[in-house]
Structure 1
Amino acid sequence: MTETTRSATHPAVSPLRVAAVQSNPRVGLENKADNVAATIEQIEECAGHGARLIVLPELAGTGYSFDTREEAYAHAEPVPDGPTCAKWKELAARLDVYIAAGIAESDGVHLYDSAVLIGPEGFIGTYRKSHLWNREKLIFTPGSSYPVFETRIGRIGLLICWDIWFPEVARILTAQGADLICSVNNWVWTPPPLFDEAGNCMASYLTMGASHVNSVPIIAANRVGEERGGKFLGCSLITGVNGWPTAGIADAEKEEILYADMDVVASRSAVVWSELNDLPRDRRTDLYDPLLGYTGGTPAVR
């Protein structure tokens, strides 16, 4: 391609450096201030390396393993008016960055495991985790929608951890026009085999698969460390529109930050593989509705 050749992806329309932060927050009110301070340092470090979209793990400011609802209430904050969001908003404005991060949200008597999206101009929106894992069901209220947020850099969808095991989530976000997905996670160690012979875990493959079949980049930030008997998986990754990791897969036990350069809106044309292979056109929405509610079929007669 010559420098004068123009196409759907050249020159890049929304070039952006993105970052996935793999960290180790600690549960307990005595640790909350340090957790939030760590997120500020991480965001500043990412911005210093040129990142404008920075993704932090699930419950990044509080840690994860709440023993009781009372403890979760004590950690939780209103969104977007709580102190943690206020700090992230100030930082996003000062550094001219976008931040996607997990937070324990209180809304009246309800508690949500949420992800917020904040940009240079302020708070953009919230996603409340819809698929609750294990003891989360005893603490949090499940969310009930899959919002996609229009921003200056492109259309951004959010998902949280266990959501990636449900292919409907990434598909619904993409069907609603998401250009990329920010995945904030606390993936945990599960019964063996945890890794395959290539050293990869199932969460990584599920992220790559969701990215590939939807032709959408996914920035997946997970945590590491141990907390109240649980161990976290690490293995953060950033995929391109083809589903393959663009910056490798992070270590299973170390804190680190992954970076990748992408054209955020490239997914709008990347879904067209050839004249005869077009993912949106090939979907059989005559058999299921566009947002995946199955509408037909009868049991087979045996």
Structure 2
Amino acid sequence: MDKPDKTTVQIACIQMQPVVGELKQNRTRSLSLIRKAAEQGAQLVVLPELANSGYMFASRQEAFALAEPLPDGETAQALIKQAEELGIWLVAGIAEHAGDRLYNSALVAGPRGYIGSYRKLHLWGEENQFFEPGDSGLPVFHTDWGVLGVAICYDGWFPEVYRLLALQGADVIAVPTNWVFMPGQTPESPTVHHSLCLAGAHSNGLVIASAARIGIERGMHFVGRSLIAGSEGFALSAAGSSENEEIIMAEVDIAAMRRKRQFNAFNHIQRDRRTDLYNIYV
């Protein structure tokens, strides 16, 4: 694919509170916030993990009842239609059923309709009781402004995820997430989630856009604190709290970001990898 010499993209991450079991309410709220982000100039919009269904399932049977096929499910079709109507790119966390299998997935849509999907590779906690681990690898999606990758929540604990997407040319990685409080973490303290995003963005020379949910659902308290991490290892935009719905936004110059992967006359963040040695330890 020929990459443009210069292009920018306005990214929006939507921090919201899906409600488990409330499919229609979650869909209506998602569509409203997506429209609001687009009206503010967003070209890429990211929704949280499992934004259609909520997260804290009581059983696999409940999870299956709240999941839908991709791309033909009711929520998926509504999201695809809105991406077309607004002329935006959209990544939305969604509970997917494929035959008798369940996946924690993300829908990818754009101005010309359905693009594809991603299935979470690394399942967290009780997700293992409901979902199958992802089986579709780590695809990238070519857009009008650059190359888009997707990861979901706990995937970000594994540096290989961001690295493998970067090696396929990813410029932006969208991360639908439902971050929870880690041991010792308070709403005011620095968060390990941010550290992982900032490190992954810097070590690969790309942007990581994480949209987190908020609220307490069946006893689980979610962190919020959505973040757009810039390629130089600093926050481009971050949610102000763990409690409020917010839309955070940042404009990224993709061409400038690609040039900055060359740190100086000697060092390039991707070229300097010692692949002649790394496979010894795999």
Q: Which one has the largest radius of gyration?
A: 1
- Confirm or deny: 8 A CA contact 2:148 2:173 kept in the other structure: yes
User: TM-score w.r.t. structure 2 length?
Assistant: 0.95
More moved, 272-281 vs 45-54: 272-281
Q: How does 1:113-128 map to 2 (within 5 A)?
A: 113-128=104-119
Picking from 49, 58, 66, the partner of 1:67 is: 58
Opposite residue 99 of structure 1, the aligned amino acid is L
Contact 2:83 2:109 (C-alpha < 8 Å) held by counterparts:
yes
Query: Per the alignment, in what secondary structure is the counterpart of residue 281 of structure 1?
Result: coil
> 1:98/1:43 Cα in 2 relative to 1: closer, same or farther (>3 Å)?
same
Q: How does 1:76-225 map to 2 (within 5 A)?
A: 76-144=67-135, 145-194=137-186, 199-225=189-215
The question of 1:34 aligning with 2:25 is answered: yes
The CA distance in 2 between the partners of 1:274 and 1:216, in whole Å, is 17
Note the C-alpha offset of 1:39.
0.4
Displacement, 1:130?
0.3
- Once the two structures are overlaid, the 10-residue window that deviates more, 274-283 or 259-268, is 259-268
Which aligned pairs between 1:272-291 and structure 2 lie closer than 5 A? 272-288=262-278
Q: Partners in 1 of 2:187 and 2:163 — Cα distance?
A: 26
Could you say which residue in structure 1 is the equivalent of 2:9?
16
Output one character per residue of 1:242-284: Cα deviation in whole Å (capped at 9) or x when no partner.
1211123431121111011112344332211011111122101
Sort the Cα spacing of 1:213 and 1:297 in 2 relative to 1 into closer, same or farther, 3 A: closer
Which runs of no fewer than 5 residues in structure 1 stay unpaired?
Answer: 1-10, 289-294
1:85, distance to aligned residue in structure 2 (A): 1.1
Return the letter of the residue paired with 1:26. V
Closer, same or farther: CA 238–297 of 1 in aligned 2, 3 Å: closer
Listed as ranges, the gaps of 5+ residues in structure 2 are none
The 3-state SS of whatever aligns with 2:42 is coil
Q: Equivalent residue for 2:218?
A: 228
User: How many residues of Structure 1 are paired with residues of Structure 2 in the alignment?
Assistant: 278
Q: Aligned match of 1:250 in 225, 240, 244?
A: 240
**Which SS does the other structure have where 1:13 is aligned?**
coil
Task: Report percent identity of matched pairs.
Answer: 42
Deviates more, 1:110-119 or 1:260-269: 260-269
SS at match of 1:50: coil
Q: Aligned runs of 1:37-56 on 2, under 5 Å?
A: 37-56=28-47
Q: Deviations over 1:44-81 (max 9, x none)?
A: 00011010100000001111011111001100000011
